[in-house]
C-alpha cells in the first residue's frame, strides 16, 4: 500500500495552489469553444471577408468533435504537461522532497502518488470538459454520438496519461523546473512529430492524436485502434518504470 | 556503557573525482548532543545525507543502534528525525497543517498527533504563527518549524544539518536553546561550522576537514585547545621592543612577532596573559592605540590539532 497521506497532499496541492482551477477553466473553455467554433466558423469567416468566393460546407457535429480533439490534444494537454513537469523538480528545488523522503514515504510512494494524482486530476478535468462539449454539441447540432466514440475517448484519456507520465519523467531527470518544462515540451513535440508518418502512427503511444480524426470519419480499422491502445498503455508502463528506476537511485 | 546510536565506519563518498567524505569513522553515543564541526565544504552535509539515506555511500558502513543501514531501506525512518540545511515546506500550508501532514506520514493517531503538535509549536515558539502560511515565514521561523517537524515522530535520534548557520545572533541563540533543551531526551547529531554554538550545547564533538576526521573528543578537551588565542597590540610610541623583552620569557607566550609599533602574540593561556599584560601597561604608563583579542576560530583549532597530531 502506498502512503495515503502523501497522495492526499498531492491532490490538495492541485486544489490549494491554482493548478486545478487553471486546468478546469482552460479545459472547460475549450470544451465549450470547440462545438461553438465549429458551428459558427463559416459565419465568422464571412464576417471577416465580405467577398468570400468559396462555398463552405455546412458544419456538422463531426466538426465539433474535430475541434474538441484538436484542442484537448494540443494547448490543453501542453498546459497540463507543463504543470506536471514541475511536480518533482520543484520539490527538489525547494528542498521539500528531503523532509518527505526522510519520513515514512518511500521513493515508490513519492513517485507513484504523483503519478496517481496526475491521473485523477486529468480524469476529472477530462470528464468535465467531455460532458460540457457533448452538451454543447448536442445543443447546436442535435447529435453527438458516432461509431467508435468510446474507443476514441479511451484513446484520448490514455494518451493524456502517457504525456503526463512523460512530464513526470522529465521532472525527475531535470535539474531545474524550467529545464523540466522545456524537456517536457520537447518530448511533446517529438512524439507528435512521429504522427507525420501514417504507417507508424498506430504504434506511437501518442498516435491517438491523429487516429482520433480517422476514427471520426470512419477511416480507421478496429485492429489499428487496438494496436494504438496497446502501444499507448505500453508507453505509459515503460516510461513510468524508467522514471521510477531512475528516481529510486537518485541522489537527492 | 552507553549504547551507540549512530556508528559510521570508513564512510566514503566520491563525486566524480572529488572525495567529499574520506574514510570517515565516528560514533554518536546514545543520549549525547553530538556536534559535527567542519568548515564549509568539509563534507558534513554529504555525511548526514548518507545517514538519512538520501545519498548512497561509495563505501563504508552506517549503523543505527547496531543495525546496518542499506540505501533505499526504510528501516530506521521511525527512529530518526531530520532537518536538512535548507528545509523546504509547502508554501500553501500553514505551520500547523504542515506538522499535521508530517505526522500523518507516520500514521500517528490523530489524538496523539494533536497534543504533540501543540507541544511542539510551544517548544519552538510558533504557537502564535501556527495558522500563518509557511510561504510568508522568515528564515528563522522556517528553521524552527524545521526542528518541530524533525521531532514530530518522537524520534530517538535527531539529525540537524547546520540548524543555526543561516540565522541572526538572536535567532541563533533561540534555536540553540531549543537544541539544548533536548538534552537527555533524545540523541542529537548536528552539524555546524560555528564553534561557539557547538561549545555551548554539545558534550561530544567531531571536527572534520576535507572529509576526514581531524579530532573526535569531548567538548571539555576541545575547549582547552581553544585557550590558545591570538592577540594584537599597537602602541602609540616605540614601546614594542621593551614589551617584547618584558613578556618573552612568560610561560603563556607561544609566539611573538614585533613589527614597528605593532606586536602579534600567540598565547596558550588567555586569562593569565591578559592579567600580566595589563599589569605591565599600567606600571609603565603605556598608551595603546589598539588592543585586540581574536575570537577563537575553528581554523585555529584545526591548525593546533593537525600540528599536534604530526
Ligand atoms: N552532488 C554533488 N556533486 C558533486 N560534488 C558535491 C555534491 N555535493 C557536495 N559536493 C562537494 O562535496 C564537498 C562536501 O560538500 P558538503 O558535504 O556540502 O560540505 P559541508 O556541508 O561540510 O559544507 C564539497 O566540495 C562539495 O562541493
Ligand atoms: Mg553543509
Instruction: Assess whether B72 and B83 both reside in one domain.
Output: yes
Q: B17 CB under 6 A from ligand 1? A: no
Q: Which residues contact B63 (CB under 8 A, 6 or more apart)?
A: B4, B6, B7, B8, B9, B69
**Boundary-marking domain end, from B167, B195, B224:** B224
Q: Which of A92-101, A241-250, B155-164, B262-271 has the lowest mean pLDDT?
A: B262-271
Chain segment B254-302, per-residue pLDDT in tens: 889 999 899 999 888 888 888 999 999 999 888 999 999 886 665 566 5
Torsion-angle region of B43 (φ positive above 0: left; ψ -120 to 50: alpha; else: beta): left
List of residues 6+ apart from B308 with CB closer than 8 A: none
Q: How is residue B147 written as a grid cell?
A: 526542528
Choose one of B199, B224, B249: the last residue of a domain.
Answer: B224
Rounded distance, CA B144 to CA B177, Å?
11
Q: Is the CB of B111 under 6 A from ligand 1?
A: no
Predicted local distance difference test score (pLDDT) of residue A209 = 87
Give the model confidence (pLDDT) of A154-186 as tens digits.
999 999 999 999 999 999 999 999 999 999 999
Instruction: Give the closest residue (by CA) to ligand 1 atom 8.
Output: B46
Average pLDDT, chain A: 93
B87/A107 CB distance under 8 A: no
Contact between B104 and A5 using a beta-carbon 8 Å cutoff: yes
pLDDT tens digits along B181-205 = 998 889 999 999 877 777 778 888 8
Measured distance CA(A180)–CA(A15) in Å, rounded: 22
Measured between alpha carbons, how far is residue B246 from residues B173, B255, B266, B284, B285 in Å? 41, 14, 15, 11, 14
Our count of domains for chain A comes to 1
Work out the percent of chain A whose per-residue pLDDT is above 90. Answer: 79
Domain range for B291: 226-306
Average pLDDT along chain B = 89
Alpha-carbon gap: A80 to the closest alpha carbon of chain B (Å): 20
Q: Hey, what's the cell of B166?
A: 543561516
Residue located nearest, by CA, to atom 17 of ligand 1: B43
pLDDT reported for residue B94: 97
Instruction: Output the CA–CA distances (angstroms, integers) from residue A218 to A146, A157, A192, A224, in the order listed.
Output: 9, 20, 22, 12
User: Per residue in B175-185, pLDDT tens?
Assistant: 899 899 998 88
- Confirm if B278 and B291 have CB atoms less than 8 A apart: no
User: What pLDDT score does B38 carry?
Assistant: 87
Binding site membership of B40 for ligand 1 (Cβ less than 6 Å): yes
d(CA B265, CA B263): 6
Backbone dihedral region for residue B44 (phi beyond 0: left; psi -120 to 50: alpha; all else: beta): alpha
Chain A residues close to B18, C-beta within 8 Å? none
Element (H, E) at B264: strand B262-267
SS3 B100: helix
CATH number at residue B271: 3.30.70.980
Helices B95-104 and B139-150, axial angle in degrees (round to 10)? 30
pTM: 0.86
Q: Which ligand 1 atom minimizes the distance to the CA of B161? A: 21
pLDDT reading at B22 higher than 80: yes
Cα of first residue to Cα of last residue in chain B, in angstroms, is 31
Range of the domain at A25: 4-249
Residue B6 pLDDT: 96
Classify residue B271 by its DSSP letter: H
Q: Which atom of ligand 1 is nearest to the CA of B55?
A: 1
| For testing contact with chain B, the best of A11, A87, A96, A109 (most B CBs within 10 A) | A96
**B169 within 8 A of B94, measured Cβ to Cβ:** no
Q: Cβ(B95)–Cβ(B146) under 8 Å? A: no
B130 with B49, same domain: the answer is yes
Q: Give the pLDDT of residue B226.
A: 65
Instruction: Find the closest chain B residue to A10 by CA distance.
Output: B90
Of A76-90, B16-30, B68-82, the one with minimum mean pLDDT is B68-82
Nearest CA in chain A to B75: A104
CB within 8 Å of B199: residues ≥ 6 apart: B219, B222, B223, B226
As given in the structure block, the three cell numbers for residue B85 are: 540545511
3-state secondary structure B203-233: CEEEEEECCEEEEEEEHHHHHHHCCCEEEEE
Same domain, B11 and B97: yes
Q: B92 vs A13: CB contact, 8 Å cut-off? A: yes
Same domain, B207 and B269: no
Number of domains in chain B: 2
Of A9, A251, A252, the CB nearest to B101: A9
Q: Could you tell me if the CB of B41 is within 6 A of ligand 1? A: yes
Q: How many inter-chain contacts (A to B, CB under 8 Å) are there?
A: 71
CATH number for the domain that contains residue B95: 3.40.50.300
Q: Is the CB of B84 under 6 A from ligand 1?
A: no
Q: How far is Cα A153 from Cα A145, in angstroms, rounded to an integer?
A: 12
Query: Does B52 lie in the same domain as B123?
Result: yes
- How high is the pLDDT of residue B310? 40
- CA A98 to chain B, closest CA, distance in angstroms equals 7
Pairwise CA distance, residues B49 & B61, whole Å: 13
- Which of residues B224, B239, B268 is at a domain's end? B224
pLDDT given at position B171: 84
pLDDT at B230: 84
Same domain, B99 and B161: yes
The minimum CA-CA distance between B184 and chain A, rounded to whole Å, is 23
- Residues 6 or more apart from B170 whose CB is under 8 A from it? none
β-pairing, B157-161 vs B80-83, is parallel
Provide the pLDDT confidence category of residue B225 given band limits of 50, 70 and 90: low
Q: Using an 8 Å CB-CB cutoff, list chain A residues near B56.
A: 249, 251
Q: Which of B78, B88, B90 sits opposite A13 (nearest CB)?
A: B90
Is the C-beta atom of B163 inside 6 A of ligand 1?
no
Give the DSSP letter of residue A185: H
Strands (E), A55-164: none
* Ligand 1, atom 11: closest residue by C-alpha: B20
Torsion over CA of A108, A110, A111 and A112, rounded to 10 degrees?
A: 70
Burial class from Cβ neighbours inside 10 Å (0-12, 13-18, 19+) for residue B266 reads middle
pLDDT digits (tens, 9 = 90+) for B33-56: 999 988 889 999 999 999 999 999
Ligand 1 atom index nearest CA of B208: 22
Mean pLDDT, to the nearest integer, of A121-127?
98
Amino acid at each position: 500500500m502506498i502512503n495515503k497521506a502523501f497522495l492526499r497532499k498531492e491532490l490538495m496541492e492541485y486544489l490549494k495552489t491554482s493548478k486545478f482551477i487553471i486546468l478546469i477553466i482552460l479545459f472547460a473553455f475549450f470544451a465549450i469553444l470547440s462545438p461553438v467554433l465549429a458551428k459558427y466558423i463559416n459565419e465568422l469567416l464571412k464576417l471577416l471577408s465580405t467577398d468570400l468566393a468559396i462555398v463552405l460546407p455546412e458544419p456538422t457535429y463531426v466538426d465539433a468533435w474535430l475541434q474538441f480533439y484538436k484542442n484537448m490534444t494540443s494547448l490543453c494537454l501542453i498546459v497540463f504537461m507543463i504543470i506536471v513537469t514541475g511536480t518533482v523538480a520543484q520539490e527538489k528545488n525547494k528542498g521539500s522532497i528531503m523532509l518527505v523522503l526522510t519520513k515514512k514515504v518511500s521513493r515508490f510512494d513519492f513517485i507513484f502518488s504523483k503519478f496517481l494524482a496526475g491521473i485523477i486530476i486529468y480524469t476529472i478535468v477530462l470528464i468535465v470538459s467531455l460532458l460540457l462539449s457533448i452538451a454543447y454539441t448536442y445543443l447546436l447540432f442535435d447529435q453527438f454520438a458516432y461509431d467508435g466514440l468510446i474507443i476514441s475517448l479511451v484513446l484520448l484519456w490514455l494518451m493524456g496519461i502517457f504525456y503526463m507520465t512523460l512530464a513526470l519523467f522529465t521532472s525527475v531527470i531535470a535539474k531545474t523546473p524550467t529545464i523540466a518544462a522545456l524537456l517536457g515540451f520537447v518530448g511533446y513535440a517529438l512524439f507528435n512529430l512521429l504522427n507525420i508518418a501514417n504507417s507508424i502512427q498506430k504504434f506511437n503511444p501518442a498516435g491517438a492524436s491523429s487516429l482520433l480524426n480517422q476514427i471520426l470519419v470512419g477511416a480507421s480499422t478496429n485492429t489499428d485502434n487496438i494496436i494504438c491502445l496497446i502501444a499507448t498503455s505500453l508507453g505509459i508502463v515503460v516510461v513510468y518504470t524508467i522514471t521510477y528506476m531512475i528516481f529510486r537511485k537518485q541522489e537527492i | 556503557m552507553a549504547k551507540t546510536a549512530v556508528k559510521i565506519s570508513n564512510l566514503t563518498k566520491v563525486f566524480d573525482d572529488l572525495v567529499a567524505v574520506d574514510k570517515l569513522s565516528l560514533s554518536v553515543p546514545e543520549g549525547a548532543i553530538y556536534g559535527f564541526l567542519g568548515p564549509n565544504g568539509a563534507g558534513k552535509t554529504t555525511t548526514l545525507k548518507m545517514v538519512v539515506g538520501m545519498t548512497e555511500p561509495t563505501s563504508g558502513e552506517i549503523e543505527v543502534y547496531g543495525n546496518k543501514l542499506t540505501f533505499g531501506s526504510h528501516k530506521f525512518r521511525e527512529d530518526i528525525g531530520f532537518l536538512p540545511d535548507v528545509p523546504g515546506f509547502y508554501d500553501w500550508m500553514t505551520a500547523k497543517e504542515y506538522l499535521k501532514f508530517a505526522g500523518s506520514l507516520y500514521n500517528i493517531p490523530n489524538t496523539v498527533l494533536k497534543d504533540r503538535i501543540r507541544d511542539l509549536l510551544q517548544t519552538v515558539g510558533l504557537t502564535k504563527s501556527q495558522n500563518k502560511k509557511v510561504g510568508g515565514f522568515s528564515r528563522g521561523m522556517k528553521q524552527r518549524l524545521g526542528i518541530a517537524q524533525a521531532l514530530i515522530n518522537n524520534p530517538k535520534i535527531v539529525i540537524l544539518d547546520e540548524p543555526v548557520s543561516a540565522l541572526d545572533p538572536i535567532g541563533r541563540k533561540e534555536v540553540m536553546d531549543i537544541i539544548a533543551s533536548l538534552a537527555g531526551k533524545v540523541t542529537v547529531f548536528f552539524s555546524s561550522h560555528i564553534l561557539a554554538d557547538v561549545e555551548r550545547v554539545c558534550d561530544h564533538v567531531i571536527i572534520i576537514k576535507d572529509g576526514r576526521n581531524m579530532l573526535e573528543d569531548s567538548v571539555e578537551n576541545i575547549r582547552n585547545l581553544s585557550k590558545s588565542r591570538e592577540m594584537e597590540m599597537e602602541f602609540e610610541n616605540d614601546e614594542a621592543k621593551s614589551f617584547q623583552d618584558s613578556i618573552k620569557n612568560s610561560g603563556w607566550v607561544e609566539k611573538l612577532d614585533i613589527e614597528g609599533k605593532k606586536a602579534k602574540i600567540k598565547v596558550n593561556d588567555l586569562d593569565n596573559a591578559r592579567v600580566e599584560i595589563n599589569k605591565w601597561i599600567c606600571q609603565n604608563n603605556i598608551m595603546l592605540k589598539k588592543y585586540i583579542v581574536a575570537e577563537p576560530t575553528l581554523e585555529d583549532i584545526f591548525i593546533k590539532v593537525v600540528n599536534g597530531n604530526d
